[in-house]
């Protein structure tokens, strides 16, 4: 049991407890607490850096998407411009082909008209000659009788 006033052994135990507490605090508790606080500060710093990097990645993603949208718009505009130029060039080429075809057709019609006129004149001349020969043959036969 506990007696009052405490005897000397109690004071020795109490003194050795405080000495042990002092050394344990210096050798174990304080370094362990420093280690825990350093670990927490590193974790917190890493988390903050990770949040900053995620935010930076989001900003970069938004900028890249904006650049891609701009590039797509420019590409569509370039494609439309090329299509318009191609269509204009195609129309121009078709107009030239039509004009050449119309000229060639007119030349062929003139040539056909001239050939027809020549053929008609030749046929008329041949038919007159044949008619004259027939008349000569018929009249010539009558002349002999």
pTM exceeds cut of 0.75 = no
pLDDT over 70 at 121, yes or no: yes
Q: What are the residue ranges spanned by the domains of the chain?
A: 12-97
Place of tokens 């008209």: 113
**Token pair in block for residue 66:** 């904006």
pLDDT of 101 strictly over 90: yes
CA-CA distance, 49 to 75, in Å (whole number)? Answer: 38
Q: What is the pLDDT of residue 66?
A: 95
Output the CA–CA distances (angstroms, integers) from residue 105 to 101, 108, 121, in the order listed.
6, 5, 24
At residue 100, φ and ψ (nearest 5 deg) are -65, -40
């Amino acid at each position: 049991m506990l007696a009052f006033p405490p005897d000397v052994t109690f004071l020795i135990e109490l003194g050795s407890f405080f000495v042990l507490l002092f050394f344990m605090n210096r050798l174990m508790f304080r370094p362990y607490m420093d280690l825990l606080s350093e670990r927490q500060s590193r974790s917190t710093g890493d988390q903050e850096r990770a949040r900053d990097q995620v935010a930076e990645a989001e900003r970069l993603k938004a900028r890249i998407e904006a650049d891609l949208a701009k590039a797509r718009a420019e590409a569509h505009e370039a494609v439309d411009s090329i299509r318009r130029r191609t269509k204009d060039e195609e129309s121009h080429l078709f107009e030239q082909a039509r004009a050449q075809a119309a000229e060639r057709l007119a030349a062929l019609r003139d040539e056909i008209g001239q050939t027809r006129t020549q053929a008609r004149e030749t046929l008329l001349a041949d038919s007159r000659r044949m008619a004259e020969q027939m008349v000569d043959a018929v009249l010539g036969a009558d002349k002999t009788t």
